[in-house]
């Protein structure tokens, strides 16, 4: 995970787009650097006030993802955002005119209310600030509210069929089946050494223990067949069978416990791999952009290099110039100049 700097944050916010991967990877990065939450939200607020109206919704999608997915890590983002969201909704209400933007923000507020992200009173205040500047046009305002109510009735399993409208597609994802967020909650990506250690541990798991599996496969059939009890002829045989059953129970209990632990480890490993993959995708995008940037720089430098070579080739060769001093007497030396005759 790349280190946090305000410059890096500004660059990531500038590159943010409405795709799920873009929002998800930046959300993961912000949650990873949650100790800088105060500065991050301050910068986010400054930027959302300056970006075009079309990008304000994308910033709100990012805030929604961070608020909901960071709850398991700590309350920092939720509390810090609650302090500035009134200002944000007032700003959007005062400066924006798009009915689509207001309808989509209304959907986000509905989801927050349904999931208990914020108190109903606080959400009502957000909604009031959002619509305050538009109350003079009651017809449009009523139309917007009706659109919000109609949209909230859409089934949670519904998906957008309009692939060209990315914002609408994202909005349908907002009402998806995810427990807390439109996206799968991601955790902190593991270090490569930690991931390798987990993979090695899985290689030595219970399901790969051929010796124990062979012992279980070779258990005598009479210990699992009640009908075999009728064949016992004396007490010694019954005791011997009881000992075999007890050993089998102990063996199977121990192996089942190991299998259960393995399932937990594999679930954890799957999450680690998902988080690691998300981080690598982000780093890949950054590396591709950096490569493209440096390729352009190289082309500029090569162009300058070519110009220098052409310029040098056009300069005269001083060694080929004629001897302009030929036939002239040499200049007197300093001693000759001051020699008094």
The distance of Cα 27 from the centroid of its chain, to the nearest Å, equals 5
Q: What is the pLDDT of residue 177?
A: 35
pLDDT band at 322 (very low <50, low <70, confident <90, very high): low
More confident residue, 277 or 148: 277
Q: Answer yes or no: is pLDDT of 236 > 60.
A: yes
CB 199 within 8 A of CB 270: no
Q: What is the pLDDT of residue 138?
A: 45
More confident residue, 320 or 32: 32
Q: What is the pLDDT of residue 188?
A: 60
Question: Which of the residue ranges 39-43, 118-122, 184-188 would you say has the lowest mean pLDDT?
Answer: 184-188
Q: What is the pLDDT of residue 63?
A: 93
pLDDT band at 18 (very low <50, low <70, confident <90, very high): confident
pLDDT digits (tens, 9 = 90+) for 204-232: 888 888 898 888 888 887 777 777 776 77
Sign of the CA dihedral 157, 115, 51, 139? positive
CB 98 within 8 A of CB 167: no
More confident residue, 73 or 69: 69
Query: What mean pLDDT is predicted for residues 101-118?
Result: 89
CA–CA gap between residue 53 and residue 32 (Å, rounded): 28
What does the DSSP assignment read for 52-72? -HHHHHHHHHHHHHHHHHTTT
Q: Answer yes or no: is pLDDT of 324 > 70.
A: no
CB 41 within 8 A of CB 81: yes
More confident residue, 172 or 206: 206
% pLDDT > 70, the chain:
76
Environment class of 330 (CB within 10 Å of its CB; exposed 0-12, middle 13-18, buried 19+): exposed
Match 């955002």 to its residue by tokens.
81
Q: Answer yes or no: is pLDDT of 187 > 80.
A: no
Q: What is the pLDDT of residue 172?
A: 38
Query: What mean pLDDT is predicted for residues 168-179?
Result: 40
% pLDDT > 90, the chain:
27
Hey, which of 7-16, 228-237, 330-339 has the most confident mean pLDDT? 7-16
Q: What is the pLDDT of residue 168?
A: 39
Q: Answer yes or no: is pLDDT of 48 > 80.
A: yes
Coil/strand/helix, residue 157: coil
Q: What is the pLDDT of residue 279?
A: 75
CA–CA gap between residue 254 and residue 206 (Å, rounded): 10
More confident residue, 263 or 320: 263
Picking from 90, 22, 8, 6, the residue whose alpha carbon sits closest to that of residue 55 is 22
Q: Answer yes or no: is pLDDT of 64 > 60.
A: yes
- The pTM score is 0.46
CA–CA gap between residue 162 and residue 125 (Å, rounded): 33
CA–CA gap between residue 114 and residue 180 (Å, rounded): 10
CB 132 within 8 A of CB 92: no
pLDDT digits (tens, 9 = 90+) for 141-171: 454 545 555 444 443 334 333 433 444 344 4
CB 16 within 8 A of CB 58: yes
Does the domain at 6-131 match CATH 1.25.40.90? Answer given as yes
pLDDT digits (tens, 9 = 90+) for 110-125: 989 888 899 999 999 9
pLDDT band at 3 (very low <50, low <70, confident <90, very high): confident
Q: What is the pLDDT of residue 133?
A: 55
Helical spans, DSSP H, in the chain: 6-15, 20-32, 37-50, 53-69, 76-95, 99-115, 120-131, 138-152, 166-174, 192-203, 210-217, 235-314, 334-337
Mean pLDDT of the chain: 78
């Amino acid at each position: 995970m790349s280190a946090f700097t305000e410059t890096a944050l500004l660059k990531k916010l500038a590159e943010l787009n409405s795709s799920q991967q873009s929002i998800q990877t930046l959300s993961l990065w912000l949650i990873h650097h949650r100790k800088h939450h105060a500065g991050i939200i301050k910068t986010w607020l400054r930027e959302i006030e300056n970006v075009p109206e079309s990008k304000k919704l994308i910033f709100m999608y990012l805030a929604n993802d961070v608020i909901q997915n960071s709850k398991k890590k700590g309350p920092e983002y939720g509390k810090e955002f609650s302090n500035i969201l009134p200002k944000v909704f007032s700003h959007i209400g005062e400066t924006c005119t798009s009915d689509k933007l207001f309808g989509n923000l209304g959907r986000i507020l509905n989801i927050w209310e349904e999931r208990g992200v914020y108190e109903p009173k606080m959400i009502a205040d957000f909604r009031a600030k959002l619509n305050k500047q538009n109350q003079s046009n009651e017809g449009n305002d009523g139309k917007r509210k009706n659109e919000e109510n109609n949209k909230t009735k859409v089934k949670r399993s519904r998906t957008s069929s309009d692939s060209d409208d990315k914002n609408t597609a994202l909005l349908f994802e907002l009402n998806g089946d995810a427990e807390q967020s439109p996206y799968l909650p991601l955790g902190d990506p593991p270090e490569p050494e930690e991931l390798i250690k987990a993979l090695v541990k899985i290689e030595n798991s219970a399901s790969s223990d051929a010796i124990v599996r062979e012992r279980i496969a070779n258990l005598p059939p009479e210990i699992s067949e009640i009908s075999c009890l009728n064949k016992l002829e004396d007490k010694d045989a019954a005791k011997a069978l009881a000992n075999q059953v007890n050993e089998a129970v102990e063996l199977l209990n121990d192996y089942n416990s190991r299998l259960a632990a393995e399932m937990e480890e594999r679930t954890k490993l799957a999450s680690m791999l998902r988080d690691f993959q998300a981080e690598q995708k982000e780093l890949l995008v950054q590396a591709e952009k950096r490569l493209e940037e440096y390729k352009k720089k190289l082309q500029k430098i090569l162009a300058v290099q070519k110009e220098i070579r052409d310029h040098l080739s056009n300069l005269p060769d001083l060694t080929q110039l004629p001897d302009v001093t030929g036939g002239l007497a040499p200049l007197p030396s300093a001693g000759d100049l001051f020699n008094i005759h």
